Homo-oligomer: A and B are copies of this chain.
Amino acid sequence: MPDKIKTIEEAISQIYDGASVMLGGFGVPGTPFCLIDELVRQGQTGLTLIKNDANEMGMGVDHLLENGQIDKLITTHIGLNSRAVNLMNDGNLEVEFCSQGILAERIRTAGAGLFGFLTDIGIDTDLAGGKKIIEVDGRRCLIETSLKADFAFIHALHADAFGNLEYSASAQNFNPLMAMAADNVIVESEFIVATGDILPNTIHTPGPFVDVVVPLVELTEEYGVVRR
């Protein structure tokens, strides 16, 4: 199988100003903190981020917000990051809210090479505003469009050089979906294993979806258990 291993500097240097970037993770688990830190270091700006949440203050997405790199955030919930809420309220950050499962499905729909799907979720709420409604089989449906991105940053537990991936516990969340949806999929992995070491039945993301695999030398403190 092809070998896709690159350094973190190489991987992130592909990102250009104005790019759209998906970030895996739900809270801490599955968030690619090291790739984010390198993006902060390189400083690309005008980015559109797609992530379930905005992490907490002082972690992950928050560094990008603090560094002024983000123009727009597509997300489901930012209640744990007051900087994100304040930037939004002050008009300095465009935020598009989706229902959580609808965000997941919009990303997967792009990952499946489809253009949209029909749902009644939120049809009688404010979140339906501006969305097209059609009737199919006598049922009113919203058209939700697919959501793709130029790049996806993925955090895996195990990866082989071809990009077969396994996630840990609840760190799976949006990662396998984003790994399907982006044009250029960059994976950071806690362990790089020999190709064949992840059993064929245990692979969560098959290698053909992945473009770049970055080995992590060590995990930063952000990956740890948060004391509340």
Chain B residues with CB under 8 Å of A132's CB are 136
Tell me whether B112 and A105 are in contact (CB under 8 A): yes
A197 contacts partner chain B, Cβ-Cβ < 8 Å: no
**Alpha-carbon separation in the docked complex, A22 to B166 (Å):** 30
A16 contacts partner chain B, Cβ-Cβ < 8 Å: no
Chain B residues with CB under 8 Å of A114's CB are 105, 117-119
**Alpha-carbon separation in the docked complex, A194 to B134 (Å):** 47
Chain B residues with CB under 8 Å of A169's CB are 200-201
Instruction: Indicate the size class of the contact surface on chain A.
Output: 20 to 34
Q: With A169-B200, A169-B201, A201-B202 in contact, is A137–B118 under 8 Å at CB?
A: no
A141 contacts partner chain B, Cβ-Cβ < 8 Å: yes
**Alpha-carbon separation in the docked complex, A206 to B116 (Å):** 26
A228 contacts partner chain B, Cβ-Cβ < 8 Å: no
Per-residue contact bits, chain A 126-161, to B (CB 8 Å; 1 contact, 0 not)? 000000101011010101010000000000000000
Chain B residues with CB under 8 Å of A109's CB are 117
A168 contacts partner chain B, Cβ-Cβ < 8 Å: yes
Tell me whether A136 and B116 are in contact (CB under 8 A): yes
Chain B residues with CB under 8 Å of A167's CB are 201
CB distance from A95 to the nearest CB of B (A): 21
Cβ-closest chain B residue relative to A140: B115
Chain B residues with CB under 8 Å of A113's CB are 119
CB distance from A116 to the nearest CB of B (A): 4
Tell me whether B118 and A143 are in contact (CB under 8 A): yes
Tell me whether B166 and A141 are in contact (CB under 8 A): no
Tell me whether A118 and B116 are in contact (CB under 8 A): yes
A17 contacts partner chain B, Cβ-Cβ < 8 Å: no
**Contacts of A74-94 to chain B: CB distance below 8 A:** none
CB distance from A121 to the nearest CB of B (A): 8
A38 contacts partner chain B, Cβ-Cβ < 8 Å: no
A66 contacts partner chain B, Cβ-Cβ < 8 Å: no
From A115, A139, A166, name the one whose CB has the most chain B CB atoms within 10 angstroms. A115
Question: Quick one: which of B136, B166, B168, B201 contacts A145, CB cutoff 8 A?
Answer: B136
